[in-house]
Amino acid sequence: MSENKRINDRVMWIIVALLSFILIVLVFKAGVLVGGGKSHFSSHRSSGYSKSIGGDHFFGSKKSMMVDRKAMFEAFQKEAQASGMTIEEYKKSLLDQKTAN
């Protein structure tokens, strides 16, 4: 009788160990699924950030860079005209000021 009880105890511990292992695997698998879902949500949310906050201007799209260059050139032209210089003379004076510092 004690022999049967030992066998039953061993079988019970094997079953408990297997169920514990399965439970641990399921918990980790659920963690991976939840983490993957959160990262997927986060990446899709951040992909629309530039459109909802300020357009592509802040991220340097080609169109905005062209607009910025055009605006910068127009600003240089106005400053050169106000100083009574041509744009080339104004650029040279800016470079001279930069190298002097």
Q: Are 80 and 90 in contact (CB under 8 A)?
A: yes
Residue 13 has a pLDDT of: 94
Neighbours of 80 (CB within 10 A): 18
How many CB atoms are located within 10 Å of the residue 50 CB?
Answer: 14
- Provide the pLDDT for residue 4: 79
pLDDT of residue 59: 52
Average of per-residue pLDDT across 62-79: 72
Residue with the bigger pLDDT between 44 and 88: it is: 88
Cα radius of gyration rounded to whole Å, the chain: 35
Q: What is the pTM of this model?
A: 0.39
Domain boundaries, given as residue ranges, for the chain: 1-47, 54-101
pLDDT at 74 over 80: yes
| Length reported for the chain | 101
pLDDT of res. 79: 86
The per-residue pLDDT for 61 is 56
Cα within 13 Å of Cα(88), Cβ side? 0
Question: How many angstroms separate the CA atoms of 53 and 51, rounded?
Answer: 6
pLDDT tens-place string over residues 10-61: 999 999 999 999 999 999 999 888 888 777 776 666 666 555 555 555 555 5
Task: Give the pLDDT of residue 29.
Answer: 93
Sign of CA dihedral 23, 24, 29, 33: positive
* Eight-state DSSP code of residue 66: H
